[in-house]
Chain A
């Protein structure tokens, strides 16, 4: 009888996974929408908790986005590109810089996962995950890029979630 119970448990576990996965993927889809909104509006936030809320409440996000004082404050505190020798070398070649705020990156294994997934892409010339700022810094090969949606999907493959993406001058911190 116990064996039957275990078999039922294991079967339920395996069925629960895809169900849970699909639910989370749905929420990721919502998050992609939020990221796209950020890119289109060309403003920055560094408060990831705020972004988590944004993913579920776009009306709230929209109203905050129209407040110039909040935008200025958020832009001033946004995380910028982490400079390493590899990042600097890629920048010197003219690659586009991107900074993405990542949810849940709290350990070196998390950083390793992000590094492994993004390093596999031919478009990526340099990658660094800063655990202090919870930010993914990317510099692309000149003439190439990855869309916000692709960056978000790659983060999901690594097991994490992107809260916001900044490009170009905003990523370098020179847009203010």
Chain B
């Protein structure tokens, strides 16, 4: 895929769209570009994997509801991976430290910000279950705890290089929001180095679009 097309897709995703990182730690020496958006946050993450145990990235994200952005260093640690002949399970710890700043006319000044949480997934070639949580403290911009549960299946099993398709349902819980629990059906497509997720949050009528490119 041409680099310009990849950048265009990433920007399109970041401007329209969730905090879902498929394989947040990659193989040794890999770079990964992730653009993601959910019902409240829109962000992008570029990370490098120096070892299959951890990655380090730079993340920028905007809270569209409260008009502030967080720019952070984002390490992710693969704390444990379970292998089987037909399955794989992963448990990750992730976090970040950086700065929160007002955007879109928000007069509040910059503030130290940090976040942390866990991610876990288990998948076979045709079944997937995943969970992630994150607590964010952005000082005077506020704090938030969110957690997301996902389950899905692949209607067919593609081989290496094929187009892989998954149908998933995402349940999102944010206790501080008026709509604390929302549901988003989505389709995940990936082929080669590219992953794209398209969905629609039925509770709050917001699109979901995630994009991952590995190189």
| Residue positions of A touching B, CB distance < 8 A | 2-3, 6-7, 9-10, 12-14, 16-18, 20-21, 24, 47-49, 52, 101, 103-117, 128-132, 134, 156-161, 163
Contact = CB atoms under 8 A, between A and B. Distances in A.
Given A17-B77, A108-B160, A112-B192, A3 B114 contact: yes
Interface string B128-163: 000000010101000100000000000001111110
B84 interface: yes
Contacts of B190: 107-109
Contacts of B125: 106-107, 131
A117 B159 contact: no
Contacts of A9: 93, 95, 116
Nearest to B124: A106
Contacts of A18: 53
Contacts, number: 145
Contacts of B51: 21
Given A103-B85, A132-B159, 11 more contacts: A2-B143, A9-B93, A10-B114, A12-B93, A16-B93, A21-B53, A104-B84, A105-B88, A110-B88, A117-B28, A157-B27
A16 B214 CA distance: 25
Interface stretch (B3-11, B18-26, B172-180): B18-26
Interface residues of B, number: 54
A129 B53 CA distance: 22
Given A10-B96, A17-B93, A107-B123, A116 B81 contact: no
Nearest to B92: A13
A43 to B, nearest CB: 18
B150 to A, nearest CB: 15
B89 to A, nearest CB: 9
10 contacts: A7-B97, A13-B116, A24-B80, A106-B123, A108-B190, A110-B88, A111-B160, A112-B193, A134-B85, A159-B27
A27 to B, nearest CB: 10
B149 to A, nearest CB: 20
B52 interface: yes
Contacts of B84: 48-49, 52, 103-104
